[in-house]
């Protein structure tokens, strides 16, 4: 490996402001004569990453990473030493003599450099076609309809890919880009069926995708033909493009995000552009893939808070939930700016102006609040079974909150909204596990169907199920008991509700199986397991009556806890608080009577 003259290296380092360099990727704050921030090389809650201008170096007291500007670019951007030197030298307008230093490294570096140049040239060509060519008339009309001016198109270098193959071949020949190189760069594709190559993008509006340094490394093409199979099409992954590591617009928005301490995350390129041009420059979008840990870490280095601005339909919520599950564990505050039905950021800004979008951002809710209020309102919460099922879903997300304070606040709000005691929510969170793959029947892979449902049931409710399935006298007695209060107010009674309300004859095996067949797979599996265990259950009617009394005591205790949770609501007025106190006292008296009754000898 040839050696770069030491004086050249010194010249490059002297010309590089290390605070400015690192500040493009890490949110730094001044601490005396130094600067500190969260380390980009490991996860941490308190900043231990120190940048020292006096020595033109950095050091992390947490993981030990450190060095000069060359080392930072190498470690942060995954470059070789020579690539890092060349990048910083180019930024400082310092010329470095090309030298043969390592055959393989030199070859890869040249390919990377050529791919970036090809994408830059291609972006410029696409842009010229859009702005001037008659063949791009439809594309220009589409942009005009979306409120995108020529100035905006120029700023983002939006382009147009023609429908034919000959135009791209002519462009490639002019720039002397060979067929294999174009294939490796993802610019053309090979058709096995026809045995020839064709452009990766045809008759599409083209959005250049840039790396953190603003270099074009890929494209996203928006179909203009309504019959196209894919509305949006991204470049394939190449030596210079990995979609899981790139956020659209991040090269423009990185500094505004750092300044605001907040990032707006939306779904597409046009939304990003329109939000940015409307004055909200702290905005990015993914690249047609779910949020990744790399995305989360990149945003965490610049911001403390993320505003998710997705469509307000079910698909939009699912996208928000997936993003939350990646972002929350990093300690980022995740909020949702819920769009009006049928609107996206672009249409909202065009119809109602930037002020409406600013109001939308101002009213953003913490993700957990959004889930319980907006998504919960679409669910039937009259039944305890449905409330507990929803609480279990929420527990999966609450457990991801990195801050104990945020977790406790979420527990309190969910408890009040769903009418479930805080202790119950905490138990659901403790029991919650990361979501695993599901089979077609809905059960977790490698897990016995019905296992989780059985584990979530109240033990006295399960005992009543067993007794009723084993003894016709118990089932007949159970069906004549009032059930509304217990089934509505007490979690873990979902299976009991099915048996209690069923119309089957326990002495008729065919009737029982018809009843089970009408249930979903998990319920059928759980009750079948109980049915097979019920023959060993003894005690008959007396045991059933004792279990029912225990359920009533549990119900009263839960009602009391629920009212005590409501007393913590910050907006509760004195009159309502006094009424709740009276209800708690009445429940306390009922509890004492029920507990005394169950202790009496039979």
Is 206 in a helix, a strand, or coil? strand
pLDDT > 90 in the chain, percent: 33
Higher pLDDT, 178 or 440: 178
pLDDT classification of 98: cutoffs 50, 70, 90: low
**Average pLDDT across the chain, whole number:** 84
Greater model confidence, 338 or 160:
160
For residue 275, count other CB atoms closer than 10 A to its CB: 27
In the three-class reduction of DSSP (H, G, I as helix; E, B as strand; rest coil), residue 223 is classed as strand
Tens-digit pLDDT profile for residues 444-480: 444 566 777 888 788 889 999 888 888 888 888 998 8
User: Which band of pLDDT confidence, cut at 50, 70 and 90, is reported for residue 289?
Assistant: low
The mean per-residue pLDDT over the stretch 542-553 comes to: 88
By DSSP bridging, strand 57-60 and strand 29-31 are unpaired
Crossing angle for the helix pair 69-77 and 81-91, nearest 10 degrees? 120
Which H or E run includes 590? helix 574-599
Share of the chain above pLDDT 70, in %: 91
551: number of Cβ within 10 Å: 22
**pTM given for the model:** 0.66
Whole-angstrom Cα distance, residue 592 to residue 595? 5
CA distance 478 to 468: 7
CB neighbourhood size of 354 (10 A): 15
So what's the pLDDT on residue 387? Answer: 79
Judge residue 455's burial from the number of C-beta atoms within 10 Å of its C-beta, 0-12 exposed, 13-18 middle, 19 or more buried: exposed
Q: Using 50, 70 and 90 to split pLDDT, how confident is the model at 102?
A: low
Whether the Cβ atoms of residue 561 and residue 587 lie closer than 8 Å to each other: no
Length of the chain: 602
Q: What is the pLDDT of residues 415-445, one digit of tens each?
A: 888 878 888 888 888 877 655 444 433 444 4
Strand partners, 59: 50, 66
Residues 299 and 345: their CA atoms lie apart, in Å, by: 21
The whole-angstrom separation of Cα 513 and Cα 505 is 10
Non-local (6+) Cβ contacts of 589 within 8 A are none
331 burial class (0-12, 13-18, 19+ CB within 10 angstroms)? middle
Rounded CA separation 420/387 (Å): 8
Quickly state the pLDDT bin for 97 (edges 50, 70, 90): low
Closest by CA to 199, choosing from 190, 188, 185, 184, is 188
Q: What one-character-per-residue DSSP string does 9-76 give? A: HHHHHHT--HHHHHHTTS--EEETTEEEE--TTS--SS--EEEETTTTEEEETTT--EE-HHHHHHHH
Closest CA relative to residue 200, chosen from 171, 161, 172, 231:
161
Q: How many helices (H) does the chain have, and how many strands (E)?
A: 28, 16
Average pLDDT over residues 325-337: 91
Residue 218 has pLDDT above 90, yes or no: yes
Which runs of consecutive H residues, i.e. helices, occur in 261-377? Answer: 269-277, 293-300, 314-327, 345-352, 354-362, 367-370
Tell me how far apart the alpha carbons of residues 290 and 49 are, in angstroms, rounded to a whole number: 29
Parallel/antiparallel/unpaired status of strands 333-336 and 305-308: parallel
CA-only gyration radius of the chain, Å: 31
- Condensed to tens digits (0 to 9), the pLDDT of residues 495-545 reads 898 888 888 877 776 667 667 767 777 888 888 888 776 554 556 888 888
pLDDT at 178 over 90: yes
Q: Is the pLDDT of residue 46 over 80?
A: yes
45-54, 183-192, 288-297, 343-352 — which is least confidently predicted? Answer: 288-297
Q: What is the pLDDT of residues 482-497, one digit of tens each?
A: 767 777 777 788 889 8
Residue 263 CA to residue 466 CA, distance in Å, equals 54
CA distance 248 to 283: 9
pLDDT for 107-149, tens place per residue? 777 898 899 999 999 999 999 999 999 999 999 999 999 889 9
């Amino acid at each position: 490996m040839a050696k770069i003259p030491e004086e050249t290296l010194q010249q490059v380092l002297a010309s590089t402001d290390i605070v400015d360099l690192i500040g493009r990727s890490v949110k730094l704050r001044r601490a005396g004569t130094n600067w500190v921030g969260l380390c980009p090389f490991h996860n941490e809650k308190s900043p231990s990453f120190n940048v020292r201008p006096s020595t033109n170096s950095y050091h992390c007291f947490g993981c030990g990473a450190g060095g000069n500007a060359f080392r930072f670019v190498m470690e942060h951007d995954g470059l070789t030493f020579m690539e890092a030197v060349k990048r910083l030298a180019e930024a400082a307008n310092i010329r470095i003599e090309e030298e043969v230093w390592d055959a393989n490294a030199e070859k890869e570096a040249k390919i990377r450099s050529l791919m970036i140049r090809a994408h830059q040239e291609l972006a410029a060509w696409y842009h010229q076609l859009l702005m001037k060519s008659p063949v791009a008339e439809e594309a220009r009309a589409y942009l005009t309809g979306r409120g995108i001016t020529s100035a905006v198109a120029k700023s983002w270098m939006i382009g147009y890919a023609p429908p034919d193959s000959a135009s791209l071949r002519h462009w490639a020949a002019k720039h002397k880009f060979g067929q294999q190189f174009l294939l490796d760069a993802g610019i053309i594709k090979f058709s096995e069926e026809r045995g020839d190559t064709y452009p990766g993008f045809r008759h599409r509006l083209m959005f250049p995708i840039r790396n953190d340094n603003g270099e074009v490394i890929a494209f996203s093409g928006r179909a203009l033909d309504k019959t196209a199979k894919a509305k949006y099409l991204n470049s394939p992954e190449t030596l210079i493009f990995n979609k899981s590591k790139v956020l659209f617009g991040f090269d423009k928005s990185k500094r505004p995000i750092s300044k605001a301490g907040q990032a707006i995350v939306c779904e597409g390129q046009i939304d990003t552009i329109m939000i940015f041009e409307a004055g909200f420059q702290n905005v990015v979008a993914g690249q047609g893939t779910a949020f990744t840990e790399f995305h989360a870490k990149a945003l965490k280095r610049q911001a403390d808070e993320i505003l998710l601005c997705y469509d307000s339909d079910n698909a939009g919520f699912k996208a928000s939930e997936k993003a939350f599950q990646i972002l929350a564990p990093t300690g980022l505050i995740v909020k949702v700016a819920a769009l009006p039905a049928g609107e996206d950021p672009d249409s909202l800004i065009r119809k109602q102006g930037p002020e409406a979008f600013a109001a939308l951002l101002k009213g953003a809710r913490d993700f957990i609040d959004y889930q319980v209020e907006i998504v919960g309102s679409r669910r039937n919460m009259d039944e305890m079974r449905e409330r507990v099922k929803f609480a279990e879903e929420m527990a999966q997300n609450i457990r991801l909150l990195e801050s104990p304070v945020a977790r406790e606040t979420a527990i309190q709000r969910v408890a009040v909204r769903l009418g479930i005691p805080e202790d119950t929510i905490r138990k659901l969170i403790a029991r919650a596990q990361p979501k695993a793959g599901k089979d077609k029947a809905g059960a977790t892979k490698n897990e016995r169907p019905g296992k989780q449902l059985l584990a979530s049931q109240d033990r006295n409710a399960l005992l009543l199920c067993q007794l009723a399935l084993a003894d016709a006298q118990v089932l007949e007695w159970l069906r004549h008991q009032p059930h509304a209060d217990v089934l509505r107010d007490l979690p873990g009674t979902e299976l009991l509700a099915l048996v209690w309300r069923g119309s089957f004859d326990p002495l008729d095996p065919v009737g029982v199986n018809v009843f089970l067949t009408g249930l979903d797979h998990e319920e059928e599996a759980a009750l079948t397991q109980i049915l097979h265990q019920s023959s060993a259950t003894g005690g008959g009617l007396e045991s059933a009556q004792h279990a029912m009394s225990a359920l009533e005591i549990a119900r009263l205790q839960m009602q009391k806890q629920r009212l005590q949770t409501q007393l913590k609501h910050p907006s509760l007025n004195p009159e309502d608080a006094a009424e709740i106190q009276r209800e708690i006292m009445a429940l306390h008296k009922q509890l004492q009577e029920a507990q005394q009754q169950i202790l009496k000898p039979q």
